[in-house]
Structures are given as C-alpha cells and as structure tokens.
A and B are shown apart, each in its own frame.
Chain A
C-alpha cells in the first residue's frame, strides 16, 4: 500500500461488530425456514403431497447449518455473518430445484452438501492462520497445474459432454479444476507478494512473462480440455490479481489484447468455439439443434415472468442440463424474476462481503488471496448466468453453490471457509480487545 492511498476504513457497523454470530444464527434460521418452505412447496407442486421426508430434511438441513455455525462460533467468532447464511441459502435453493428436477440426484447432492460443510469445518479447524498458506505458494502452484493436468492422464481422465475436465478414481468422478482454481489463487497471491514491488517500480517485457504464462496456460486448458469457462476464469483471475498488485493499467490493456487475440485465434482455429459464438449470436438459427438448450432456457425464463410458475408447476425439465449449467433458468421459470433477481442479489452480497475483506485486511497476501477468491466467485457466476441470459457466449460451468455437482460444491465451501477465516482475522485485528493479534 502506498502512502498516497487512503488507509482502509475500519468502521464496522456497531451491531454487527458486537454480535456477528448472533446475527448469523438469526439469518440461518430465516434461511432454514425459507428453504424448508420451498422444499415443501416444490414437492407439493409436483406430487400434490407434503413430502414424507420433510421432517428428516429439516433436521438434516438445520443440523448442517448448526454444525457450520458452531464451527464459526468456535474458530471465527468475529467473521462477517453474511457469508455462511447466503451460501446455505443458495445451496438450499439449488438443492430444492435439483430434487424437483430429478429426485434421483437428491441423495447425492445432500451427501455432497454434507461433505462440503465437513470440508468447510475442516478448513477452519486445520487452518488457524491463512498466512500459513503463503509459505506453500509454489507447492500450491505446482499442485494446481498438476490438478489441471490430471484429466489429460490416460486412465484417469474422462471426457464427459465434450469436455475433458473429469478425473475418475474408481467409482468417484471429480473435476480437479474446481480445486485447482483455489490453489492457483493462493499461488498467484503468494507470488505477487514477492514480485509486486518489482512490478510496480519498473515494467519491462520480461516482467510480462507471468501474464504470458497464465495466458498460455489458459489457452492450454481450452485446447486440451475444451473447457472454455475454466480457461476464461483462470485468465481473468490472474489479470485481475496482477492488476491490483501492480497497480498498472497496462496490465489490463495487455490482458485485454491477449484475451481478444486468444479468443479470435480460438474462434478461427476451433469449430466448437465458432459454434458457441454462432449460437450466442443467433440461437434461433437452429432452435431444435445447436441452439436448443439456450432457446429452451429463454422460453423457461419467459414463462417465469415476474413471479414464476411456482415451484413444481413449471417445466424446467425441458431444458438440457437444467440441474447444472442451466439451473438459473430453472429457478427463473419457477420463481420468476423475483426469484432469479434474488439469486443475483445473493451473489452480489457474497461478492460485496468478499471484496470488503480484501479491502480491509492489512496483509498483502491475504488481501490478494481474498481478492482472487472473490473474483473467482464473481466471474464464474457472471460467466454462467451471462451465458444463460445470452450476455456472453455460453460456456459449461457451474453456478457456485446452486448447481448440482460435488466437486464444485466442496471447492466452493472451502473457498467460503477461507474467506470467512480472513474476515475473522481482519475483524479481530481491528479489535485488539478480543486478544489474539
């Protein structure tokens, strides 16, 4: 931080500062009631009966919330109380819609939710200080690259729906890329702590080597794994963190040039990229074929209107991959503009809280790490919602916390735990009365 820049404001709302966990508990109860009601309504809408397992569902859901809440009380008592309830709300709403779309996915998704909460608690338990991560930055960077490459290893990697982003170990499939984004965010933050002073004082061609490397890596992901969404995500993550660390506009300019250059090259070289762009420009050119998913998604959203068809009363099952990539359209159909806007607002609240941690925390590593994690969350949400809404070309990627998918859910809960941990550290640091520095 330079002397010319204003110091971060430390004014925390007194109410929140006093009893963040009590606020969190209140919010969690509200989330629990909202999700429980939604679950009952969705079941009633599809089968005209109150689900028999409503009781166990409520116990399970409140139990998971309570576990995470108790972990927060114990490990991160000062953290921003918004993170956990908002994430559980998104997770719960996603679960309701997934269950309503395909009952056979319900058990798996609830298991993954439990594992996600478990990883959340474990992260808080085993990571008393986020700065511990900093010393393993190169290990994590290499680890991230290795994770990214796992799907390319013959025998381990599996191609599903045209993207080679899956790894199979025995009966378990997972997407290593979901975890790679966390370790790479840690690596970027740690690396830039070292080099940012250098980057800020001078800028030579060789200083742009890291951005070039990231660009090449992103292109590699796109070419070898055909995963446009992750490619875009990694590249944006690196450019944003580098830009903030170096405080140089030229990083953004070069990033933009490389992005559009890479995008154009990909467009000319790869049929599937061209197809994506063509569908984006005019999905109605082939409404029964290539454009089917996005056209059906638009029809679903249009059917939703202002207030939606009601849970269980729409036809979101008509959209291909409604439980993963297009879950936002399914929510928009049954809960209307009111519901889909609420989901966007929830993400904005999460992103806002994440950026607030990045703004207020003093240590550079934590600042850049929190920034990276928040950027991941924000860009991933923008890319998939924008893809569904035809603001950007569609790339298959999950909607954090909402979509069906174990890897994504677990990775995002770990991401959440890291943000919560940093939020706690930041708040404690401005309240020396609490003791721990």
Chain B
C-alpha cells in the first residue's frame, strides 16, 4: 500500500505544481494582459480614487482640487469655480475619459513621474505626497471679465501673451459644471454626462480651441502678411484702384465688397475698410497659391498648435488650387495693369494662374473652405504683435511639488515664424489705424496702444446672420504688445462688416481693460 501512497504523493505534487505554474501565469507573466483587459475597471477606479494635485490660476484662485471622500474611493475631484474653468481643467470621471488638463497632465497631477516620486534618496523609504500642483497662466481677473462680457451669447474669448504664448483667458459659452461628472457615484456622473451630450449647444466642447469657424475678414491679416512678404506691397504702395468687384482669372465667382460698396487704396486703407476686392486680388495675383498656403501654414494653419490641452482642432486653409495654366498666365508688376497672354518667362513677382485661382480669390478673404479656431486667430494677432514669431500656446506655466518647491517651469518656445519683423511692424501700424479710425474703434481704451481687425463671417441670408469676430493686440505705449486676443460671437443677426466691430469688439475691450488694470 505504501507504494501507492507514495505514488499518490507524486500525483498530488504534480497537481499542485500545475496550480503553482498557473498562479505564476495569472499573477506575474500574464498579469499585464489581465490588467489591460477592457473589462478590468480596477485600474480605472484606483486611478480615479487617488489624491491629485490642485490646479491654481496665475492670481492664486483654486480651480481644481482633490477632497477626501468617504466611500468607494479615497478622494474625489472638486472644481470650486464650476463652469468658469471647465474647458481648461476638464474633468476626471469614472465613467468617461478625462479631458482638459486632468488628461494632459494626468501623470503629474497623480504624482506618477519618477522624478516627482523620488526627489531625494530619502523618498525611497517614506510614502511622500508626490502630486504636482499646476500653476496656470490664466488670470482669474481676466477670465472672469471675459465670461461676463460675453454673457449668454454663444462664443469664445482667447487672450494670450504674444511674447510667451501664455494664455491669459480662454473662455467658451456655453460651458458646463464639471463637478457632477467627477462624482464617484457612476449613476450621477452618467446622468450628468448624458444630459450634456444631448444639449444641442454642445457645452462639453471647448470651442475656443476645439471648434473651427469661418474666420471672415480677420483672415485678411494673413493675406496682408503674405502680400508684404512678396516684397511688392508696402504700407503705402502700391495704391489699389477703387473697385466694386473683382473678376478672377480664369473666370469664377465674382468677388464683391460689403453691400456693393467700392474700395481701394494702399494696404493700410485696404485693412481699415476691409476691402474684399483688393485682398482677393492680392491673394490670387500677387501672392499665388503656393505662397498663400505657405503663409497660412506659417501662422499655424493645417497643423497642430502644440497647446497643452488635449483634443485641439487644426485650423484649415485649402491647399489645392489645381494645375498651373500655361496659356492664361498673366503677371502684375507694381503699378501695372494685368496683362493677359501666354508668357513663358515671368518677370519678378509674377504669379502663374492656376486652374482654381478663383478659389484662391475666395480663400484669401477667409471664405470658401477656410476655417480657424479662435485660438488660431488669436495667434495670427499674436504673431503680428511679436515681430512675426508665433509662440507655442500653453495654459500651464509651473509645476510645483507638494512642499511648494518648483518641479518644472514651462519655458516660452517659438512654434513658427509667420513673417519678418518688418512685415509685422507694417501690419501692427495698420491694425492700429483700424482700431483708431476703422471698423475696430470699439476696442479703444485709455492708456493702452491697441490694434485690431474685425471680421463678419456670413452664414446665411434668411435671416441674415454671421459670426462676429475681432482679433487684435494691446500694449503699453512704446513697449512690445503684451496681449493678443480673438473674440468670436457666434451666429449674430445681421451681416454687415460692422457686426464684428459692434458685437465682438466691446468684449475684447473689456478683456484689455481687465488685463491692463
């Protein structure tokens, strides 16, 4: 019998060896696969319930914090300012993916990076709070004024420091209260989320950097920059003849001025009155497709702007204008009339006509398929204010450790060079004229030098309605401008070129006053 008992011992040993091997597979070698399984919510809940660092504005207002929560999780997230910062902080939710800074700075807020966890050798032995505090470049005093000035009109306000790319205000109405979405009770969070998703005004979408709009006449700043960069156009020469229409070559949709008016003159005058016909001509005949696309992309179009918030939309400038047409080439030299004919060699500055140059005539004044985020249009103004250099936009300036010491500082970084400093200077002066004598007079405020450009992107005619735009810069006299901005008020009644100046400019003016207060 003992032989059998020994054999039984061997069999049991083998069975337990199988258990041990499987145990190793589940707990060690196959653990990662199990932890990554879609049905595994353990990591999610653990992540959700951890303490995270607070988020604080440049002027010290707490906009996100972790508070202890007695229940299924140790901590929950609270957003004391509610909807004012929802599109910046985003939210951390159990049910849906995090957005905003809660997402882009998830690891730092949670205290995961190695350098945060082990700042010194002693940290190997104690369980130190390694969460990081985010300091924003947003100034609560400006953000609040932006929200109040826009009121309950749908739209966005973006204000930033053109020298550094630090965003000072970033507001979209309608916004939402992120607190219910961060509720540890999944049913509460789900109900809140469903209601927000069902809202036709899409309050969850941070339209200031995640939605694109027809930029209207504000885009003429890009065309003007491209025109000056050709070397053929200066502030006061050439003088464009007064016209009511522009006829593209080859034939296409006729470009008209607002309300059938006639306009012309030098570049400053063209910007002051926002002259459609002349800017169509500049884009289509003086700059040409390749350089127009290059110019738009130099401002940031058709690319990621590198903002430290997730899900940013790319602005769009159409790049396809068809083949070059050899038999309808024409050129324009300063002061000359268009000459039709099949020239084989073009003089300096001449632009070959393309199959779809008529489309270029439209895109050059911000029509057709051009679409931009409010952030992008603020960067257009910022590039002009900052001697042609577009700085990478960001909302986080500093990461602080739990004890207040500095972990990391976000340095100002150039994103692109949009134009030369001399071109920028010409446009700055022109924009100042627009603010002081043109369509953007509502921008003016005491003690500050202001430049701007309005836009009215027509959406339809029955009834007439349009997006009202203003972009611009502001600074102290004899100093480099320290503020660039874009304001859009969506779907306003009316379609006159005055709409942008009438509706959007006062909001920008309030922001300027708050910023320079």
- Whether B251 sits at the interface, judged by CB under 8 Å, is no
Q: Which 5 A-B pairs have the closest CB atoms?
A: A302-B34, A302-B31, A287-B39, A244-B4, A337-B27
11 contacts between A and B (CB under 8 A): A244-B8, A247-B3, A298-B34, A299-B39, A301-B27, A302-B32, A302-B34, A303-B35, A305-B27, A344-B20, A391-B19
> Could you tell me if B39 and A288 are in contact, using CB atoms closer than 8 angstroms?
yes
> Could you tell me if A390 and B19 are in contact, using CB atoms closer than 8 angstroms?
no
Known: A8-B2, A299-B42. A375 touches B8 (CB 8 A): yes
| Nearest A residue (CB) for B43 | A303
B4 CB to closest chain A CB, in angstroms?
Answer: 4
Report how far A355 CA is from B4 CA in the complex, Å: 11
Q: Kindly list 16 other residue pairs between chains A and B, CB separation below 8 angstroms, not including A337-B27, A390-B22.
A: A5-B1, A244-B4, A247-B3, A287-B37, A299-B35, A299-B42, A302-B30, A302-B34, A337-B24, A340-B27, A344-B16, A352-B9, A364-B1, A368-B1, A371-B5, A389-B19
Q: In chain A between 306 and 360, which residues have their CB closer than 8 angstroms to a CB of chain B? A: 306, 315, 318, 332, 336-337, 340-341, 344, 347-348, 351-352, 355, 358-359
> Could you tell me if A315 and B45 are in contact, using CB atoms closer than 8 angstroms?
yes
Interface string of B106-146 (1 = CB under 8 A from A): 00000000000000000000000000000000000000000
**Chain A interfacial positions (CB closer than 8 Å to B):** 1, 5-6, 8, 240, 243-245, 247, 284, 287-288, 295, 298-306, 315, 318, 332, 336-337, 340-341, 344, 347-348, 351-352, 355, 358-359, 364, 367-368, 371, 375, 378, 382, 385-386, 389-391
Known: A1-B1, A5-B3. A340 touches B35 (CB 8 A): no
| Nearest A residue (CB) for B15 | A382
Report how far A368 CA is from B5 CA in the complex, Å: 10
| Nearest B residue (CB) for A355 | B9
Report how far A404 CA is from B4 CA in the complex, Å: 34
> Could you tell me if A341 and B20 are in contact, using CB atoms closer than 8 angstroms?
yes
B16 CB to closest chain A CB, in angstroms?
Answer: 6
B12 CB to closest chain A CB, in angstroms?
Answer: 5
On chain B, the residues within 8 Å of A368 by CB distance are: 1
Known: A359-B2, A382-B19, A391-B19. A302 touches B35 (CB 8 A): yes
Task: Please indicate which of the listed interface residues B1, B9, B34, B42 has the most CB atoms of chain A within 10 Å of its own CB.
Answer: B1
| Nearest A residue (CB) for B38 | A287
Report how far A371 CA is from B3 CA in the complex, Å: 13
> Could you tell me if B35 and A385 are in contact, using CB atoms closer than 8 angstroms?
no
Known: A247-B1, A288-B39, A302-B35. A341 touches B23 (CB 8 A): yes
On chain A, the residues within 8 Å of B409 by CB distance are: none
On chain B, the residues within 8 Å of A364 by CB distance are: 1
Task: Please indicate which of the listed interface residues A245, A247, A298, A302 has the most CB atoms of chain B within 10 Å of its own CB.
Answer: A302
Report how far A247 CA is from B5 CA in the complex, Å: 10
On chain B, the residues within 8 Å of A6 by CB distance are: 2
On chain A, the residues within 8 Å of B42 by CB distance are: 299-300, 303, 315, 318
